[in-house]
Amino acid sequence: MSNPAAPLPVAVLISGRGSNMLAIARACAAGHLRARVVSVIADRSDAAGIEAAASLGLPTRLLEARALSRAEFEAQLARTLESSGAQLVALAGFMRILSAAFVAAWAGRMLNIHPSLLPAYRGLDTHRRVLAAAEREHGASVHYVTEELDGGPLICQGRLSIAHAETKSSLAARVHRLEHRIYPMVIGLIATGRLILAAGTVLLDGRPLAAPLQVSEDGAAEHTDA
Ligand code: GRF
């Protein structure tokens, strides 16, 4: 994005615990990413992540969605993002569906993380559904946001093998650990200008990704060139 030498200003939108937001913020603070979190925005007052963000000294904003119409909420969100100077928006456990017009305004500049190996298991309650289906693999996906829910171009997947004695909570914890690695990694690639979305295609170092980048639990990251 714009100036690859300056830290990329990132806004993170949350509705809950905010552990992905914290992973991104900590990676920025540690200098692992050429990015900085300029705003953490929550759509509900009981989002625990908002206090965690404030305690890290990050600028926070609560836009209580229940008290607003969708149009009012999005107008305030647009103003908040604009005044923060954010050039990238990271949805991180943000449980609100944004309108097609809002998403279009941030096309190629808005990411989401979803707890499944998309396109499998879009929507909610993925860990329970994956276990019920006796899947052998699970994980998390980072993708660009389009108006199709959990359906935008895939960038990266963290992948794990499901253990015999796996429970919903053990699986959730393992997926979260993967998420905390892949989300900062993707933002880092965008911040250095290596990763972009061009005409609906994800380009890494100027070449289309043949498949999403893959990260495994044991630490390995790999990708296949087109
Ligand atoms: C994550 O599992 C993410 O994939 C999903 O919501 C969860 C948010 O967790 N979209 P946290 O609030 O970042 O801890």
CA-atom Rg of the chain in angstroms: 17
Q: Name the residue of 24, 46, 96, 113 to mutate for ligand 1: max ligand atoms within 8 A of Cβ.
A: 113
Q: Cβ of 96: how many Cβ atoms within 10 Å?
A: 15
Is 119's pLDDT higher than 70?
yes
pLDDT score, position 220: 67
Q: How far, in Å, from the CA of 226 to the mean position of ligand 1? A: 30
Which residues approach ligand 1 with their CB closer than 6 A? 14, 16-20, 49, 92-93, 113-115, 140, 176, 179
| Range 177-191 average pLDDT | 98
> Which atom of ligand 1 has the smallest separation from the CA of 114?
4
User: Other CB atoms closer than 10 Å to residue 99's CB: what's the count?
Assistant: 13
The letter for the amino acid at 152 is: G
pLDDT band for 80, please (50, 70, 90 cuts).
very high
Q: What is the pLDDT of residue 219?
A: 75
- Across the range 10-24, mean pLDDT stands at 98
Average pLDDT, integer, range 168-183? 98
114 is catalytic: yes
Mean pLDDT of all residues belonging to the chain: 95
Residue that wins the pLDDT comparison between 9 and 221: 9
